[in-house]
Amino acid sequence: MPNKVVAQIPNIFTLLNLVMGCIAITYILQPGIMVVQGDNGEYLAELPQQMYWAAICIGIAAIIDFFDGFVARLLGATSDMGKQLDSLADVVSFGVAPGLIVFQFLRMAWGNQPDGLAISDWFLLPAVLVPSAGAYRLARFNIDTSQSEGFKGIPIPAAGLLIASFPLIYWYTNYTAIQQILRSPYTWYGIITLVSWLMVSTLPMIALKFKHYHWQGNQAKYVLLIASLVLIVSLQWLSVPIIFLLYVSVSLATAKNKS
């Protein structure tokens, strides 16, 4: 049994995850949507540059989230409290913060539509489905003992990282068509629906945890990791949605082969 001080080290990592999520939220909300003048003199709704740092904070939170479990196992300091604390932190960093990113993108998208600045708040409320689905998924995970080697539904950090990538893609892509797609509110309604459904679904998903590092038994994980590295090098931020879809595809194909 670890002593009381050592037992709290994983919890400190978990709280750092929560802190990064809270910082991300402050960046997302300040100063909100801006109105800028375009090249042709027209006025456009635009995202603030602070959203860049929000996305980075969510990425840092994901790294910390990985290490808190690793540290807990390394120190033999796993606990029920740590499990619950981890879920509470995750719902903020990968649920609420990404949900607010979606909210701001929807505001921008509708703001660039004719009379979009007068749009009802009801058109923005679907953004709350992301943290709601994430909270439901975490609660189900906490009481389901069958998810030790794999997941049912997309893990909330994967969903959060996907959404956090979109501000970075929006600013740094060389393809104006992608920017136009991300300026459409209907794109965001599609993303909300897909991500929320994948989290609350019971589709079998791979857990990227290794009991051993041999090729046999880890083929799908190694293929996914190698493909992800290639995509990151070649496509930078645009690789994240592709890796997300690849993760879903490989998970479903692996589950089908086992059945």
Domain 4-202: give its CATH code.
1.20.120
What does the pLDDT look like over 167-193, one tens digit per residue?
999 988 888 899 999 999 999 999 999
78: confidence class by pLDDT, cuts 50, 70, 90: confident
Whether pLDDT at 73 is above 80: no
Chain position carrying tokens 């893609």: 169
Which residue, 246, 102, 241, is CA-closest to 162? 241
Distance CA 69, CA 116 (A): 44
Largest CA distance in the chain: 68
Give domain limits for the chain. Answer: 4-202, 211-259
Distance CA 73, CA 83 (A): 12
**Residue 75 Cα distances to 43, 59, 68, 81, 84, angstroms:** 56, 25, 11, 15, 18
What does the pLDDT look like over 201-218, one tens digit per residue?
999 999 877 666 677 777
